[in-house]
Amino acid sequence: MLSSLRVVLVNTTHPGNIGGVARAMKNMGVGQLVLVQPREFPGDAAFARAAGATDILDQARVVETLDQAVAGCQLVVGASARGRHIPWPVVDPRQLAEQVAAVFANVVADVTAELPQVALVFGREDRGLTNEELHRCHRHVHIPSDPAFSSLNLAAAVQVICYELRMASLAGEKATANPQGEPEPHWGTAWDIDSASADEMERLFVHMEQVMTDIEFLNPDNPRQLMTRLRRLYMRSHLDQVEVSILRGILTATEKALKKQEGDHV
Ligand code: SAH
């Protein structure tokens, strides 16, 4: 399970923090680090703070966009220090670890299954993740810090979350806690069809936005929160690959019907 975890850092400013994150990850046995447009990397400060976790830095992948960083992931989790305007499903690190462990417990039982990939996305030191970035996540994880001083140092936040994932992995425990009374997450091999990946979801949203604009349901000049709410709906229900292709099929048929209608009116 720990080898399937990908820590994604978005626009990190201080290279020392990247080193601190690498160290925290290696302590917890989490190996994959992806950096989205870091301000300065590689650099001496990162290696100095990594204190020997240099293999993680050597193997770190540097990419241009968050989409590239989470491509292929079936679960994308955004770490956030504060609540946002539009609430999203949010868990604490222990709940997250229990949910992830439950899915991996099923995967281990099915030796033929491919390991799902999980992305843990962390934001900028000064302003965290943007709403747009948070809306690319299935759920958010919040470390229940003191609301009066809620923001942890980046490497400390990675440490706390990876620690809980490690504890759950060591215990190999099955998830039972379900504080929000929501159904267990349907992703991984517990479900009949594999989860859609982050890139498949993005293509669905682009297609949906296009068709809704064409049928004049969405006004690009005044989009309101429509895409955000639809993203939340579909990310929350954790679509599988067949469900995504059904929705894409409906969109394609809608486009065809629209073209036909336009043709009939000429
Ligand atoms: N000042 C920023 C926080 C930046 S801290 C803000 O107000 O959003 C850098 C990153 O560490 C955050 O983007 C988040 O990914 C993580 N982080 C910090 N504190 C956290 C907390 N209490 N819970 C979850 N993640 C946290």
The reply to whether 128 and 166 lie within a common domain is: yes
- Nearby residues of 200 by Cβ (< 8 Å), 6 or more positions away: 241, 244
- Nearby residues of 244 by Cβ (< 8 Å), 6 or more positions away: 196, 200, 201, 204
Q: Could you tell me if the CB of 127 is within 6 A of ligand 1?
A: yes
Residue showing tokens 């579909």: 234
Domain containing residue 145: CATH number: 3.40.1280.10
Q: Are 122 and 157 in contact (CB under 8 A)?
A: yes
Q: Could you tell me if the CB of 80 is within 6 A of ligand 1?
A: yes
The reply to whether 159 and 236 lie within a common domain is: no
Count how many domains the chain has.
2
With respect to residue 187, please indicate whether it lies within any of the assigned structural domains: no
With respect to residue 189, please indicate whether it lies within any of the assigned structural domains: no
| pLDDT (tens digit per residue) in 216-259 | 999 999 999 999 999 999 999 899 999 999 999 999 999 999 99
Domain containing residue 213: CATH number: 1.10.8.590
Higher pLDDT, 96 or 172: 96
Which two three-digit tokens encode residue 139? 């759920």
With respect to residue 130, please indicate whether it lies within any of the assigned structural domains: yes
| pLDDT (tens digit per residue) in 53-75 | 999 999 999 999 999 999 999 99
The reply to whether 122 and 233 lie within a common domain is: no
pTM (two decimals): 0.88
| pLDDT (tens digit per residue) in 149-190 | 999 999 999 999 999 999 999 987 444 445 454 555 566 656
Residue 79 has pLDDT above 70, yes or no: yes
The reply to whether 147 and 209 lie within a common domain is: no
Cα(85) to ligand 1 centroid in Å equals: 16
pLDDT, residue 177, reads 46
Candidate of 80, 142, 159 to mutate for ligand 1, largest count of ligand atoms within 8 Å of Cβ: 80
Higher pLDDT, 192 or 151: 151
Determine the structural domain holding residue 246 and report its residue range: 198-264
The reply to whether 64 and 157 lie within a common domain is: yes
| Backbone torsion region of residue 6, taken as left when φ is above 0, otherwise alpha when ψ lies between -120 and 50, otherwise beta | beta
| pLDDT (tens digit per residue) in 202-220 | 999 999 999 999 999 999 9
The band of 97, judged by pLDDT with boundaries at 50, 70 and 90, is: very high
The reply to whether 108 and 134 lie within a common domain is: yes
The reply to whether 219 and 155 lie within a common domain is: no
With respect to residue 193, please indicate whether it lies within any of the assigned structural domains: no
Other beta carbons within 10 angstroms of residue 237's beta carbon come to 13
The reply to whether 67 and 134 lie within a common domain is: yes
With respect to residue 190, please indicate whether it lies within any of the assigned structural domains: no
Which two three-digit tokens encode residue 17? 């923090």
With respect to residue 253, please indicate whether it lies within any of the assigned structural domains: yes
Which of residues 131, 148, 181 is at a domain's end?
A: 181
